[in-house]
């Protein structure tokens, strides 16, 4: 973030105040819209250390102005903060007096930034605790003194996620100063000066109603978000004296020792768990409905990170269901506060809602540019009207008012609001389909998605797993397959299956990961947890602190002994394994068990214990689509401190035990959805943490890989001291070089659909680090990414976005949070009504929501396009009418303006957005550029037809023998009623209705017009009324609308026919443009390469007969085709 410092200059401040008075407040309004300009006008640049005001430029290029604040800190107390030395703590403040010191800081998006003299910059206050190690955290277990706590609170601030809820008066002030309403107010004042009282009053009332609704909704949303974010409760902390004290959560600071009760609590901060275990519901943050078991943080000197230590971190806003094993008495668990306020995980998510990153979407960018074009047209119209009015010798007041009036016509104030109508309707339809959206602008982005990534387990496949079988393995090889683990003889493998898990009991019911629940159930063993102090169970197992006991079933031919779990190292996606330490009854022996991905477990086992057929059997099982887990064990010294044993010590030199196979069925909806996306030319990519071969099998089962398509494995190895980095492509069936040549000769994988690349997490990392020149080519053809850790999923999404893909991501919200938030469209499958893990949350736990979301996105985008074009054409129709009538020394009547703006245009715009999406996804995506050739040509032709239509009506009327010329001595409404006004009003009224039909698109992204019955009925009613106004208006309508009573029915029928001809021409032109009439222009200028990188790269790879280079070992400097840049 770029930061610039400024200091107030007194004479510049007074000069600006004088300018504000002389400009009647206009200068203050400009400063309100452009705060950076206000700082530059009132201040001078200075070093950051002396700054009163800061200008920040964020990573999106947007500017922000913040004020530097100060707070008094006791110098004598600084040393008590602990982890940082006295010198560095002195760096956080600036000395002004001998005993009092002022700490300088500023607040930005809820985060506190403090001044560090040594670094010469403002840094996040979290930097003071970011270097804490696990050992440091254990040092805080003794608690902070009240003095230490007070000092830390001065530095870190209150522990509260404070969402500002502005008063209605402040909201009203900010809303009224919005450029849209300032322009609206300017227009109303202008109309009042021009004596358009009735029209101005109606617009004023509509604006008041609009502002009221806006204020109510804004305030309501702020209150809702504030209630969701604000979390204040009483918690128990341990002081340095050893006493436990009940305090408000607002007073918590990093370093506080938190005592968690057995019944749990709603956690008000981020904390590292040091003692005991906690069962946590994290669905509010991740969307994952299955509670997670958190275990104590392993001690050591490594740096603590909440991301890498997620299994040992309790996050703010999550519900701790129960805590146990934290010590004597009734204390459930012990944790140390690591982050507070907006620095917590919940604070980060609330901040992302309060301050969302700007959506980089071409439609919104082009909309702003188009407004500038309309502004330029308004300028030309103003100049033209000024000349006409000058020649008409009107008064100076009329000259100014009428000239400025053109601006309010050419630039419709309601344009920004109108284009959101389609999005609002789409959001409501999605909500009825149990898809919830917290970022409505993302709906339009859904319409341009070109690639969708899917997690596997729980997303493409069922969450639950069925045990398929277990097979023991050792130095002698593998034994026979046993279909049920309960049939295994007593031994380490059976004990490992029963005890290596994080399943816990909640009110007597087992709770945990579905895979582990099914695994434990298949053994027949029963879970028992300590009650009360747990001393009885501890005594039964040699005095060790017992977390849980697994007891074998009483019946059976074999008898097994119960085992007690005394230490758990929970599963980590990054490590791909978990482990436990168990003690036998009586405490005579201890065993460590590990389970995880077969490749990872085998790599941590002693080589002589892994069967020689390991790779072959794993290949066979994975190829059948089975979920394979490997088990290992080793004896542990029972006399050592098992609670303090480190994970690295446990998970090495293990003895291989065997493999557990589980069947993960593909959800019935998955193949249908994948096929729908494939037909719509939307790429589907699987991103999973599971085995590569299992992922390939699932990809084939759900249709990502066709039955006639090949899978090519990408194997990349990193650079080591013994070898260079290598890259190799090989067919899945281990084909020989000769058969690979045959594949290429037959052309089975040319054109992008004959083959798919499969990449593992390790290979993906090596590609990113050592083969960046090959990475785009691999991403273009890769469909399966396996053994991917959460960070790699996020990185994959970002790499695909670099190729100009609009990337969607669908996952269960647990390990996919980063990828869901990084994607252009993130969909979390969750039972929660709205998860902040992603913009979209679907309560339907299958991927059928994905085509629905894309269809709604396309419908919304097409509707927004239609509404934008309609509002632009509406302003241009009125613009032309006014200029034509000005030219002949008359104008539009007040009630005519009101009728066109409110009854015709406003109602049409509101109901136009009700169009519903098509049932099928079409292969082509809707356009997103308002400045594309078809759009601009269409608008230009329609404008020409509008002008010609109005001029033709005027010329025909003036050529009639009953035509009465205008009074040339007066101007404007004083000339009403007259033939010119009546003809132009009648023709323009038809044109408003005509353009609503012409620009309303349906096929292929929306259902036909007749499905929007309200809109269709309104069109019929409005067309009937305009026909009535033209053919037989009646005396009341003639007087009210100040129309000329034309008695010639032939002329009136000719006017209606002229409107019909205008409609036919515009409709046919629009249809021809939609059918590709302008393709001939593109042929003349020649085919240009696509602006999208993935399309250019796809064309390059499709023309290459040597990609991918099968069965060749490539080095980072070796290339087989020209590198793509």
Known catalytic residues are 455
Question: CA distances (Å), 906 to each of 188, 214, 899, 992, in order?
Answer: 18, 18, 10, 11
Cβ atoms of residues 283 and 271 within 8 Å: no
Specify the DSSP class assigned to residue 344: S
Strands 53-57 and 577-584: unpaired
Residue in the block written with tokens 């009465």: 964
Length in residues, the chain? 1125
Strands (E), 68-187: 69-74, 94-95, 100-108, 111-116, 121-124
Specify the DSSP class assigned to residue 315: P
Q: What would you measure as the largest C-alpha separation in the chain, in angstroms?
A: 119
Cβ atoms of residues 551 and 526 within 8 Å: yes
Residue 126 neighbours by CB under 8 Å, 6+ apart: 339, 343
- 1001-1018 burial string, b = 16+ CB within 10 Å, else e? bbeebbeebeebeebeeb
Residue in the block written with tokens 């991740």: 286
The 292-294 sheet, strands edge to edge: 292-294, 277-281, 319-324
Tokens at residue 816, please? Answer: 């996919």
What CA–CA distance (Å, rounded) separates 1012 from 912? 8
Strand partners, 116: 121
What CA–CA distance (Å, rounded) separates 426 from 913? 9
What CA–CA distance (Å, rounded) separates 447 from 866? 15
What CA–CA distance (Å, rounded) separates 560 from 551? 8
Coil, strand, or helix at residue 680? coil
What CA–CA distance (Å, rounded) separates 948 from 429? 41
By 3-state DSSP, what share of the chain in percent is helix, strand and coil, each rounded to 5? Answer: 45, 20, 35
Residue 224 neighbours by CB under 8 Å, 6+ apart: none
Phi-psi bin for 945: left (phi > 0), alpha (psi -120 to 50), beta? alpha
CA nearest 544: which of 601, 586, 492? 586
Residue 580 neighbours by CB under 8 Å, 6+ apart: 499, 500, 501, 565, 567, 568, 569, 592, 593
Cβ atoms of residues 817 and 286 within 8 Å: yes
Give the CA dihedral 616, 621, 624, 629, nearest 10 degrees: -140
Q: What is the DSSP string of 780-845?
A: HHEEEEES--HHHHHHHHHHHHHTT--EEEEE-SSTTHHHHHHSSEEEEE-SSS--TTSSEEESS-
Coil, strand, or helix at residue 1030? helix
Computed from CA positions of residues 812, 813, 817, 820, in that sequence, does the dihedral angle turn out positive or negative? Answer: positive
Tokens at residue 499, please? Answer: 């005890």
């Amino acid at each position: 973030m770029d930061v610039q410092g400024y200091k107030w200059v007194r004479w510049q401040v007074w000069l600006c105040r004088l300018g504000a008075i002389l400009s009647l407040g206009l200068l203050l309004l400009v400063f309100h819209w452009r705060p950076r300009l206000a700082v530059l006008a009132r201040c001078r640049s200075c070093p950051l250390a002396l700054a009163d005001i800061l200008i920040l430029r964020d990573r999106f290029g947007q500017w922000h102005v913040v004020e530097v604040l100060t707070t008094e800190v006791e110098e004598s107390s600084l040393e008590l903060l602990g982890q940082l030395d006295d010198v560095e703590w002195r760096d956080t403040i600036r000395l002004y007096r001998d005993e009092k010191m002022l700490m300088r800081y500023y607040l930005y998006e809820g985060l506190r930034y403090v001044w560090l003299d040594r670094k010469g910059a403002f840094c996040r206050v979290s930097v003071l605790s970011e270097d804490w190690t696990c050992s440091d955290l254990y040092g805080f277990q003794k608690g902070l003194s009240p003095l230490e706590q007070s000092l830390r609170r001065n530095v870190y601030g209150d522990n509260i996620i404070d969402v500002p809820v502005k008063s209605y008066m402040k909201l009203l002030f900010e809303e009224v100063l919005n450029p849209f309403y300032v322009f609206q107010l300017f227009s109303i004042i202008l109309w009042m000066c021009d004596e358009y009282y009735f029209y101005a009053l109606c617009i004023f009332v509509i604006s008041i109603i609009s502002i009221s609704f806006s204020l109510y909704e804004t305030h309501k949303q702020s209150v809702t978000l504030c209630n969701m974010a604000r979390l204040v409760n009483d918690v128990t902390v341990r002081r340095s004296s050893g006493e436990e004290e009940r305090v408000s959560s607002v007073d918590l600071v990093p370093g506080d020792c938190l005592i968690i009760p057995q019944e749990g609590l709603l956690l008000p901060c981020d904390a590292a768990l040091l003692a005991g275990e906690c069962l946590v519901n994290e669905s509010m943050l991740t969307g994952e409905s299955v509670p997670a078991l958190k275990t104590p943080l392993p001690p050591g000197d490594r740096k603590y990170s909440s991301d890498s230590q997620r299994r040992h971190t309790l996050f703010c806003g999550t519900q701790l269901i129960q805590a146990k094993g934290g010590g004597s008495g009734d204390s459930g668990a012990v944790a140390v506060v690591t982050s507070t306020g907006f620095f917590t995980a919940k604070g980060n998510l609330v901040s992302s809602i309060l301050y969302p990153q700007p959506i980089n979407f071409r439609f919104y960018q082009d909309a702003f540019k188009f407004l500038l074009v309309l502004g330029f047209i308004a300028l030309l119209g103003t100049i033209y009207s000024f000349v006409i009015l000058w020649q008409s010798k009107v008064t100076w007041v009329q000259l100014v008012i009428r000239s400025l009036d053109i601006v309010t016509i050419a630039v419709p104030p309601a344009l920004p609001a109108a284009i959101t109508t389609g999005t609002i309707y789409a959001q409501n339809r999605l909500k009825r389909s149990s898809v919830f959206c917290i970022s409505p602008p993302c709906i339009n982005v859904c319409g341009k998605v070109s690639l969708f990534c899917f997690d596997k387990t729980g997303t493409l496949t069922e969450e639950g797993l069925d045990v398929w079988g277990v097979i023991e393995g050792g130095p002698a090889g593998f034994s026979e397959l046993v279909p049920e683990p309960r049939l295994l003889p007593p031994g380490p493998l059976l004990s490992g299956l029963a005890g290596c898990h994080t399943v816990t009991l909640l009110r007597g019911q087992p709770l945990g990961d579905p895979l582990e629940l099914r695994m434990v159930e298949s053994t027949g063993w029963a879970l028992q947890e300590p009650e009360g102090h747990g001393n009885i169970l501890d005594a039964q197992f040699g005095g060790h602190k017992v977390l849980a006991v697994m007891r074998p079933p009483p019946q059976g031919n074999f008898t097994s002994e119960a085992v007690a779990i005394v230490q758990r190292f929970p599963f980590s996606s990054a490590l791909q394994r978990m482990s436990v330490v168990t003690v036998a009854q009586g405490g005579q022996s201890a065993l460590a068990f590990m389970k995880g991905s077969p490749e990872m477990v085998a790599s941590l086992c002693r080589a002589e214990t892994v069967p020689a057929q390991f790779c072959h059997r794993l290949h066979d099982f994975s190829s059948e689509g089975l979920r394979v887990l490997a088990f290992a064990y080793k004896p542990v010294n029972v006399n050592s401190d098992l609670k303090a044993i480190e994970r690295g010590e446990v998970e090495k030199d293990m003895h291989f035990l065997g493999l557990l196979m589980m069947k993960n069925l593909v959800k019935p909806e998955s193949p249908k959805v994948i096929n729908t996306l494939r037909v719509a030319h939307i790429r589907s990519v699987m991103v999973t943490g599971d085995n590569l071969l299992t992922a390939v099998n699932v990809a084939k089962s759900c249709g990502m890989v066709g039955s006639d398509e090949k899978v090519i494995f990408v194997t990349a190895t990193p650079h080591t001291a013994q070898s260079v980095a290598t890259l190799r492509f090989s067919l899945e069936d281990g084909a020989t070089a000769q058969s690979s040549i045959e594949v290429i000769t037959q052309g089975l994988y040319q054109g992008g659909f004959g083959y798919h690349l499969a990449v593992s997490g390790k290979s993906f990392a090596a590609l990113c680090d050592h083969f960046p020149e090959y990475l785009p080519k691999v991403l273009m053809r890769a469909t399966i990414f396996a053994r991917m850790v959460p960070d790699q999923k996020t990185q994959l999404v970002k790499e695909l976005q670099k190729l100009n893909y609009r990337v969607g991501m669908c996952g269960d919200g647990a390990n996919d949070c980063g990828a869901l938030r990084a994607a252009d469209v993130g969909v979390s499958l969750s039972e929660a009504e709205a998860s902040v893990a992603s913009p979209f949350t679907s309560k339907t736990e299958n991927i059928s929501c994905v085509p629905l979301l894309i269809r709604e996105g396309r419908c919304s985008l097409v509707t927004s396009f239609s509404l934008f074009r309609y509002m632009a054409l509406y302003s241009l129709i009125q613009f032309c009418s006014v200029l034509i009538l000005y030219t002949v020394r008359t104008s539009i009547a007040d009630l005519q303006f009101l009728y066109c703006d409110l009854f015709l245009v406003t109602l049409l715009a509101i109901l136009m957005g009700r169009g519903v999406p098509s049932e099928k996804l079409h292969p082509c995506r809707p356009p997103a550029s308002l400045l594309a050739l078809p759009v601009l040509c269409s608008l230009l032709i329609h404008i020409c037809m509008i002008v010609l239509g109005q001029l033709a009506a005027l010329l025909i009327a003036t050529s009639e023998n009953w035509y009465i010329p205008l009074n040339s001595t007066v101007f404007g409404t004083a000339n009403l009623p007259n033939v010119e006004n009546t003809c132009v009003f009648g023709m323009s009224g038809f044109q408003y209705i005509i353009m609503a039909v012409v620009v309303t698109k349906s096929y292929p992204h929306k259902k036909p017009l007749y499905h929007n019955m309200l809109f269709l009925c309104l069109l019929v009613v409005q067309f009937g009324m305009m026909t009535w106004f033209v053919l037989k208006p009646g005396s009341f309508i003639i007087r009210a609308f100040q129309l000329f009573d034309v008695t010639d029915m032939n002329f009136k029928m000719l006017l209606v026919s002229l409107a019909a001809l205008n409609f036919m021409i515009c409709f046919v032109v629009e249809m021809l443009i939609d059918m590709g009439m302008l393709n001939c222009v593109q042929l003349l200028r020649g085919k240009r390469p696509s602006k999208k990188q993935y399309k250019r790269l796809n064309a390059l790879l499709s023309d290459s007969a040597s990609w991918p280079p099968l069965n060749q070992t490539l080095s980072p400097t070796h290339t087989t085709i020209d590198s793509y840049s």
